[in-house]
Amino acid sequence: MTDQPAYPHVYFGDRWASRAEARVPVGSLAMRYGLSVFEGIRLYTPATGGLARPFLLAEHLDRMAASLRAMRFPDPGLSDLPGIIDELISRNAITQDAYVRVAATPLNAGTLAEAARPEWSVTATPMGRKQWLAKERAMALSISGWERGSAAVHPPAAKNIANYAGPRLAWLEAKDAGYDGCVLTNRHGRLSEAPTAALFLVSDGTLRTPALTEDVLPSITRAWVIRAARALGVAVEETALTRREAYRADEAFLCGTGLEFAPVASFDGHPCRFHELRPLTRQLIISYFQEVRTTDGPQVPTAARTARDSEQEVVHGTRGRR
Ligand SMILES: Cc1ncc(COP(=O)(O)O)c(C=O)c1O
């Protein structure tokens, strides 16, 4: 996924350790039943340089709390996490954009009904822009027949590792068929999300995304996009969407913490109308990178700067560093 090695210092259980020491026992509930809830958190370096800082940390901690509750895990100490992440950044001297993975994993042994005793693992990996932003590529997506599990299969809001097994098969199938990835449908055959990212469509000037009741993870980037688009004066609807609405979209994109943004060129071979211009997608991407690089916390996106050079400057973090 990345060509740079992961950072060596990790927090595991209740202490700092090397990556080699952070091991999950083969008889643990985690290994036996696929139990481990996690958050992926982006670290961004401020425009002024220096150590990287977590973006939207409070939102990630809230969702971790919801995952723990949904999976009936006791809290391994959520209030310690901000300090652990700060120390992770300083121990590893992280001065470039990176990705922190926080997991609460039951390492205790037992059979199905054993009470889980989760332990933290907190690790970091260097992570810049993915190819979609780095190389300005747009994704050719399929709309998969594979379903995102409903609340009757598992709680969609619980970010537990086992929930990724089926979506992974959908992604592999899409790649084998020559697509860059896929959007999963839900039990009603409507659009839900990509295996690790939220979906947005733009048509007739309105930004639309599947509602949280459509079996999607409450994505933090999705919530950011909704806020940012409204601040830009764009109408936003959280609603039920069908594949036909994807086929007639003017623009579309996937978004998520790790992915950031990936414009969509087509769904099942149906090209998005503005698949090269993508005015709203571009504007949101610029607003996002302006905000993540701001030292004094979030700013309201105001700039409707669409020129290619300013986009490059903001997205690739070269602004203010020359
Ligand atoms: C299933 C799923 N949906 C959506 C997302 C995007 O969520 P977020 O923006 O909180 O990273 C992710 C990524 O974590 C995910 O795993």
Q: Whose CA is nearest to atom 2 of ligand 1?
A: 196
Supply the pLDDT for residue 3: 61
> What letter represents residue 297's amino acid?
G
CB 127 within 8 A of CB 42: yes
Residue recorded with tokens 């950031």: 260
Is 186 inside any structural domain? yes
The C-alpha atoms of residue 224 and residue 129 are separated, in whole angstroms, by 18
- Pocket probe mutation, ligand 1, options 144, 219, 226, 257, max atoms within 8 Å of Cβ: 219
103 lines ligand 1 (CB under 6 A): no
Burial class (CB in 10 A: 0-12, 13-18, 19+), 274: middle
* Ligand 1 neighbourhood includes 138 CB (under 6 angstroms): no
Residue 95 lies in a domain: yes
322 is a domain residue: no
| In a shared domain, residues 164 and 272 | yes
**Counting atoms of ligand 1 from 1, which one is nearest the CA of 163?**
1
CATH of the domain at 149: 3.20.10.10
Is residue 73 situated within a structural domain?
yes
- Centre of ligand 1 from the C-alpha of residue 258, in Å: 8
The HSE-up count of residue 114 (CA atoms within 13 Å, CB side) is 17
46 DSSP 8-state letter: -
pLDDT at residue number 302: 39
Euclidean distance between CA atoms 29 and 22, whole angstroms: 16
Give me the domain span that covers residue 104.
Answer: 9-127
CB of 160 sitting under 6 A from ligand 1: no
> Of 95, 127, 159, which residue is a domain's last?
127
Cross-strand bridge partners of residue 9: 18
Q: Is the CB of 256 under 6 A from ligand 1?
A: yes
Examine the domain organization and report whether 119 and 250 are in the same domain. no
Boundary (domain end) residue, out of 94, 127, 160: 127
The per-residue pLDDT for range 179-217, each reduced to its tens digit, is 999 999 999 999 999 999 999 999 999 999 999 999 999
Number of domains comprising the chain:
2
Please check whether residues 227 and 81 belong to one and the same domain: no
149: Cα separation from own chain's centroid = 18
Residues of the chain with pLDDT under 50: 1-2, 297-307, 319-322
* pTM: predicted TM-score of the whole model, two decimal places: 0.92
Residue 140 belongs to a domain: yes
Is 283 near ligand 1, meaning CB less than 6 Å away?
Answer: no
Same domain, 165 and 47: no
Q: Is the CB of 221 under 6 A from ligand 1?
A: yes
Q: Are residues 68 and 154 in the same domain?
A: no
Q: Are residues 159 and 282 in the same domain?
A: yes
Q: Check whether residue 157 and residue 306 sit in a common domain.
A: yes
| Residue 4 domain-assigned (yes or no) | no
CB neighbour list of residue 271: distance below 8 Å, 6 or more residues apart: 265
Residue holding tokens 């299969």?
Answer: 153
Instruction: Give distance in angstroms: CA of 320 to centre of ligand 1.
Output: 30
Rounded to the nearest angstrom, the distance between the alpha carbon of 321 and the centre of ligand 1 is: 31
Instruction: Indicate if ligand 1 lies below 6 Å from the C-beta of 217.
Output: yes
Tell me: do 115 and 146 sit in the same domain: no
Same domain, 162 and 258: yes
217, 254, 259, 284: residue to mutate for ligand 1 pocket, most atoms within 8 A of CB: 217
CA 217 to ligand 1 center in whole angstroms: 6
- Residue 317: the pLDDT is 58
Q: How far apart are CA 270 and CA 201, in angstroms?
A: 13
142 lines ligand 1 (CB under 6 A): no
In a domain, 257, yes or no: yes
Long-range contacts of 49-56 (CB under 8 A, 24+ apart): 49/95, 49/321, 50/95, 51/89, 51/90, 51/93, 51/94, 51/95, 52/89, 52/94, 52/95, 52/96, 52/97, 52/98, 53/89, 54/85, 54/100, 55/292, 56/220, 56/224
Protein residue closest via CA to atom 14 of ligand 1: 196
Q: Are residues 64 and 165 in the same domain?
A: no
DSSP H/E element including 139: strand 139-147
Looking at 89, 109, 127, which one is the last position of a domain? 127
Distance 147 CA to ligand 1 centre (A): 16
Q: Which of 189, 112, 179 is nearest to 147 (CA)?
A: 189
CB of 259 within 6 A of ligand 1: the answer is no
The atom number, within ligand 1, closest to the CA of 167 reads: 1
Pair 149, 175 in one domain: yes
Identify whether 263 is part of a domain: yes
Q: Tell me: do 73 and 146 sit in the same domain.
A: no
pLDDT computed for residue 320 by the predictor: 40
